[in-house]
Amino acid sequence: MNNAMNRRHFLQLLVASGLAAGLPLPLRAQAVDSNFTPYNGPFFVSIEAGGGWDVTSFCDPKANPAINHWASTQGVQTISGSSVTYAPFAHNQRFFSNLHPHMLVVNGIDAQTNAHQAGQRYSWSGRLAEGYPSFAALAAAVYGSGLPLAYLSNGGYNQTAGVINYTLMQDPSALNKLVYQDQFLDGGNGWDAAKYFHRQSTRDIINRHRAERLARLQAAQPHMASRMQAALNQFAAAKDGQQLLELLAQYVPQTLVDYTDADGYWNPLLRQAQIALAAYQSGLCVSTDLVAWGFDTHANHDADHAAALMRLQNGVEYLWAEAGRLGIDDKLVVMISSDFARTPGYNDGNGKDHWPISSTIFMSKNASWANRSVGLTTAAHEAQAINPQTLAADSNGILLQPKHIQQAMRQLAGIADHELSARFPLNAETISLFG
């Protein structure tokens, strides 16, 4: 993983892409003057299906009418040339048909719990107990230290364990006023208003004194208690990053995608994806968590869960389509998962309750490890042990758990051996998920 793009290389890329010419003069000047190194490595996207998803109606299909009502009329769907299978449910046919070349489905993951918070924590940090950062936080800390938006969160499992800050930016409509914070921007069209709140010479004096003041604070920092020290570090880092926000402003679209998706659902996942891609394009963002809700269907499962899955699928499809339109789909590394899964069978209210055996989907464009489904469950949707190397059923093998998935993700991202990862060991056997 190479994050060491230098300034010259960055400007060359800007020129090559035609972006430099499109930058306003001050920004171009700043790009030349700055030592900023934009991030252009893989963009790590964690997508949470909040509440516990029903993988037997998704990527680990069980064609048993007692488990899934759809099985009384239809069977498991297959894809030619792929081991990926899916249930005839929600938008699965469209979703898997279009995206399976980029997809590694891992089934039979034992979350070891049926409590939401514990399941969410285990799925996204790799540890059932408290205290570990999400993968997105860890990746951002490794690759994006110093970037102002290294970790863009949308309210998923965003524990950072202090390795990085996250940023919430669901509504960037006021972004311009923050990027150009010294300018009056409420004049509207047609009024040639005074542009700045303070003239340049005044701003220069203020900024010099601010820098001197911060230096005095930092000199006093060793005497402060830990919380104040941490706060001052955050303040200084945030200050350092603000000039870079101009880059973000170049990429956040003037028109944001609607909150209502093609099925008519209120679906913030689309806008989360759009803003995340803009943040990545700006070179300021390494990772993000996107969140889809509505999967905890203890009642009226078929209708409600199908709706939740369709929202998720609309969002994931939008992410890939928009990334493709922007020419950065080859940068996406996506992980989709949930707290755990749902029971292989219906309760009295036609709902499905909590079930620990779940699945995860990894995605990367045409990856060599993609277009596969691995991990095994029984017809009753119980996890089966697998050989960690061959991934075949092996009674002496290993039951997959979220810690294995997170360990694999760390390895895929090239951060498994980083000292930050070493601070949060997963103690998980290596599984050859990616060949």
Please give the residues from 44 up to 63 whose contact with other proteins meets the rule CB under 8 A: none
Amino acid, res. 174? A
210 binds other proteins (CB under 8 A): yes
**Is-contact 41 2, C-beta < 8 A?**
yes
**Is-contact 251 274, C-beta < 8 A?**
no
Please give the residues from 391 up to 410 whose contact with other proteins meets the rule CB under 8 A: 399
Instruction: State the DSSP string of 6-72.
Output: -HHHHHHHHHHHTHHHHS-HHHHHHHHH-------S-EEEEEEETT-B-GGGTTS----TTT-GGGG
- Using the minimum distance from each CB to other proteins, give the nearer residue, 96 or 251: 251
Please give the residues from 280 up to 309 whose contact with other proteins meets the rule CB under 8 A: 291, 293, 298-299
Amino acid, res. 421? S
If we measure between CA atoms, which residue out of 353, 358, 376 comes closest to residue 431?
Answer: 376
Write down the least CB distance from residue 182 to other proteins, Å: 5
Joined together, the tokens standing for residue 11 give: 């400007």
Distance CA 277, CA 252 (A): 9
Distance CA 71, CA 87 (A): 9
Write down the least CB distance from residue 294 to other proteins, Å: 11
Task: Find the part of the chain contacting other proteins (CB under 8 A) among 17-25, 105-113, 310-318, 362-370.
Answer: 105-113
26 binds other proteins (CB under 8 A): no
Write down the least CB distance from residue 289 to other proteins, Å: 12
25 binds other proteins (CB under 8 A): no
Write down the least CB distance from residue 200 to other proteins, Å: 4
433 binds other proteins (CB under 8 A): no
Give the one residue of 56, 165, 373, 406 binding other proteins; rule: CB under 8 A.
165
User: Residues near 202 by Cβ (< 8 Å), separated by ≥ 6?
Assistant: none
Give the one residue of 6, 78, 117, 260 binding other proteins; rule: CB under 8 A.
117
Amino acid, res. 355? W
Sign of the C-alpha dihedral computed for residues 252, 167, 174 and 284 taken in this order = negative
Please give the residues from 216 up to 255 whose contact with other proteins meets the rule CB under 8 A: 216-217, 219-220, 223-228, 230-232, 234-235, 237-239, 241-242, 244-245
338 binds other proteins (CB under 8 A): no
268 binds other proteins (CB under 8 A): yes
Task: Find the part of the chain contacting other proteins (CB under 8 A) among 82-90, 158-166, 306-314, 323-331.
Answer: 158-166
If we measure between CA atoms, which residue out of 180, 159, 155, 177 comes closest to residue 168?
Answer: 155
Q: How many residues bind other proteins (CB under 8 A)?
A: 95
Write down the least CB distance from residue 380 to other proteins, Å: 8
Joined together, the tokens standing for residue 224 give: 């402060």
Distance CA 149, CA 155 (A): 15
Give the one residue of 205, 262, 392, 393 binding other proteins; rule: CB under 8 A.
205
Tell me, what DSSP letter sits at residue 345?
S
- Using the minimum distance from each CB to other proteins, give the nearer residue, 16 or 194: 194
Give the one residue of 283, 356, 375, 397 binding other proteins; rule: CB under 8 A.
356
329 binds other proteins (CB under 8 A): no
**Is-contact 257 122, C-beta < 8 A?**
no
Distance CA 330, CA 336 (A): 17
Task: Find the part of the chain contacting other proteins (CB under 8 A) among 91-99, 214-222, 307-315, 329-337.
Answer: 214-222
